């Protein structure tokens, strides 16, 4: 029997087995999909709402999922959760696929106003501002990094909202969200988290990154809170529905309900017996407030919106972390690369064993000194597809990310930032209608203190890279060759060069907040119970109420705020 004949028989057998496997797998997948969309369809997902509910929760993002779940625990209270988007696709469950959600149907895909002090390397000097649109909100497209910040972050917060007050809620959130999650393991993580901090000037903290990844998949409040609740009879979830306006009684002091635009384009009114709770986020909550007539008098007047309540701070106090991306190539094969991600072995690890590179978010750890810090992202190669969603000018993108065309390049990406930025921007209106996006001006680097603070973060990163231990990896810090910075010494140690690169390449950390500030003062938008000042039956629970930034990622803090807010609404005593 010839070798060719044997080979042919073997190939036929292999193809037959493969075809049978594919056929059976296809049948299983089809049955699973049919079950998911028919038998397993949650009873809470509705097509048409009732005329009236006790609570209407606007926005099914990080906070909205928590609030809807907690309020619906009371069987005698009806709850409607309204979300402008629908479901995120299966790709969103893969932690490392987070950037692929940007610019799609599940992203509001906002852009900032033209920036004067920053974003000079971006098209029209406008930075992209991704915001999640769909069940789970931005929690379904973020990088899942967990943090509660520092105790001193909360010193300016109102009575009852100190770090000590929130500590019991932090503990609860950590349990429910499965913190610390699945970490990136390997030589790079061991080296970084094992560095001796006593060798650095000042009080340096290096920590292994924690996250909310569970069994290799994204775990957001959509999974932890909404899904366990979405077969309750008293909870209705209305997706693909845009809340167009908040409605008030004749005296314009009490909220009646909301006006909604349904998926078929029709408009309808839904009444609220107890409260309307805004959980639409740092951009959409102030936007909805203003188009409904609650906001700065001049802003409303200029857009011909009848004034319900003159609240001058609506849309003000906007802040965000701004990251300076620093690329460091490595000689040692210790990082995540696109080529490694795409190997059959890694794909099998993930889909069969829920492990491997794809089961992580790629974040190794964080380092901080004072109010300056950075995130160490252990991915050595960046895909040029990110250019389309980042809004970078092509030449600037390629200069900042030199491995864009090398899928096998070993390296790390350092995201240096000022943890407590002083610059404050605002959300204002384009027009009088919710259908037109608002104007977003984060005023990046407007305050010169933010430049100095970010430079300290860059210096800390360089100090760590230059340690004897890190040098074993063969690191080489890449200095972007940007035309307007070429006349300066090409080193991050030079403050003029680092400032130039900062103003050209720094990008949002996706941490907006503060645009409907909570406070005890008269100018605050909401009081310590998160009630909108001067308006009855209207409350805000989302990142817009943060008085000051969190020294880290704010997502877990927002979950804790929502937990405490639910206790406040339900008059449950504090958990202290």
**The pLDDT value given to residue 36:** 44
| Residues in the chain with pLDDT values less than 70 | 1-40, 385, 387-388, 574-576
What lies within 8 Å, CB to CB, of 189 at 6+ separation is 183, 208, 364, 365, 378
DSSP secondary structure, 504-527, as one string: HH-EE-S--B-TT-B-SSTT-SB-
**Dihedral (C-alpha) 154, 155, 159, 164: value to the nearest 10 degrees?**
60
Question: Cα(87)–Cα(132) distance, rounded to whole angstroms?
Answer: 11
Q: What is the CATH number of domain 117-127+182-211+322-418+446-505?
A: 3.30.410
**The pLDDT value given to residue 574:** 67
Give me the residue spans of the domains in the chain.
51-87+134-178+219-316+512-576, 117-127+182-211+322-418+446-505
**The pLDDT value given to residue 383:** 73
Q: Are 240 and 73 in contact (CB under 8 A)?
A: no
**The pLDDT value given to residue 575:** 61
Q: How many residues does the chain have?
A: 576
**The pLDDT value given to residue 406:** 87
**The pLDDT value given to residue 405:** 84
**The pLDDT value given to residue 576:** 56
Question: Cα(547)–Cα(160) distance, rounded to whole angstroms?
Answer: 13
C-alpha distance from residue 25 to each of 19, 28, 29, 34, 50 (Å): 10, 5, 6, 14, 41
Burial class (CB in 10 A: 0-12, 13-18, 19+), 345: exposed
Classified as helix, coil or strand, 254 is strand
Question: Helices (H) and strands (E) in the chain — how many of each?
Answer: 16, 24
Q: At what angle do helices 555-569 and 62-71 cross, to 10 degrees?
A: 30
**The pLDDT value given to residue 404:** 87
| Yes or no: domain 51-87+134-178+219-316+512-576 corresponds to CATH 3.40.1390.10 | no
**The pLDDT value given to residue 573:** 77
Residue 270 φ/ψ, nearest 5 degrees: -130, 125
C-alpha distance from residue 462 to each of 401, 410, 458 (Å): 18, 18, 6
**The pLDDT value given to residue 304:** 96
């Amino acid at each position: 029997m010839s070798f060719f004949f044997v080979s042919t028989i073997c190939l036929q057998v292999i193809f037959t087995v493969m075809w049978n496997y594919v056929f059976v797998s296809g049948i299983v997948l089809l049955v699973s999909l049919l079950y998911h969309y028919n038998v397993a369809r949650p009873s809470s997902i509705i097509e048409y709402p009732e005329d009236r509910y006790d609570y209407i929760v606007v926005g099914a993002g990080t906070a909205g999922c928590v609030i809807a779940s907690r309020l619906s625990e009371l069987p005698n209270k009806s709850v409607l959760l309204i979300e402008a988007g629908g479901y995120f696709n299966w790709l969103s469950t893969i932690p490392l696929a987070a950037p692929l959600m940007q610019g799609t149907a599940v992203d509001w895909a906002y852009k900032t106003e033209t920036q004067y002090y920053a974003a000079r390397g971006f098209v029209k000097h406008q930075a992209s501002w991704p915001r999640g649109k769909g069940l789970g909100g931005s929690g379904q497209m973020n990088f899942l990094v967990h943090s509660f910040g520092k105790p001193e972050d909360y010193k300016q917060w109102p009575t009852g909202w100190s770090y000590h007050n929130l500590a019991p809620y932090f503990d609860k959130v950590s349990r429910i969200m499965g913190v610390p999650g699945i970490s990136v393991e390997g030589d790079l993580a061991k080296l970084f988290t094992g560095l001796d901090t006593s060798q650095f000037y000042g009080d340096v903290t290096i920590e292994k990154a924690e996250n909310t990844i569970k069994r290799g998949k994204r775990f957001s409040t959509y999974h932890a809170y909404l899904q366990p609740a979405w077969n309750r009879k008293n909870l209705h979830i209305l997706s693909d529905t845009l809340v167009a306006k908040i409605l008030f009684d004749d005296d314009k002091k009490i909220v009646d309900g909301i006006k909604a635009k349904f998926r078929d384009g029709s408009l309808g009114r839904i009444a609220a017996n107890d409260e309307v709770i805004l959980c639409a986020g740092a951009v959409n909550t102030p936007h909805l407030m203003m188009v409904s007539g609650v906001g700065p008098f001049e802003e409303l007047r200029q857009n011909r919106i009848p004034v319900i309540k003159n609240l001058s701070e609506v849309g003000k106090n906007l802040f965000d972390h701004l990251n300076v991306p620093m690329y460091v190539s490595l000689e040692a094969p210790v990082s995540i690369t696109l080529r490694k991600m795409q190997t059959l072995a890694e794909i099998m690890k993930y889909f069969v064993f829920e492990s491997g590179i794809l089961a992580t978010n790629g974040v190794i750890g964080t380092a901080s000194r004072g109010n300056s810090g950075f995130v160490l992202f252990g991915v050595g190669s960046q895909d040029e597809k990110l250019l389309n969603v980042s809004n970078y000018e092509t030449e600037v993108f390629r200069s900042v990310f030199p491995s864009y065309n090398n899928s096998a390049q070993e390296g790390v990406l350092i995201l240096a930032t000022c943890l407590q930025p002083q610059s404050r921007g605002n959300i204002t209106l384009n027009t009088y209608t919710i259908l037109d996006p608002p104007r977003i001006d984060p005023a990046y680097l407007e305050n010169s203190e933010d430049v100095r603070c970010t430079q300290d973060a860059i210096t800390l990163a360089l100090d760590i890279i230059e340690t004897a231990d890190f040098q074993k990896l063969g690191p080489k810090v890449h200095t972007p060759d940007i035309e307007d910075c070429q006349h300066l010494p090409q080193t991050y140690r030079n403050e003029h060069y680092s400032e130039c690169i900062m103003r050209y390449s720094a990008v949002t950390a996706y941490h907006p907040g503060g645009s409907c500030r909570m406070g005890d003062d008269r100018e605050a938008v909401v009081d310590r119970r998160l009630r909108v000042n001067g308006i009855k039956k209207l409350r805000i629970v989302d990142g817009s109420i943060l008085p000051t930034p969190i020294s880290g990622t704010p997502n877990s803090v927002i979950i804790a705020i929502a937990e405490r807010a639910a206790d406040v609404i339900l008059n449950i005593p504090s958990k202290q």
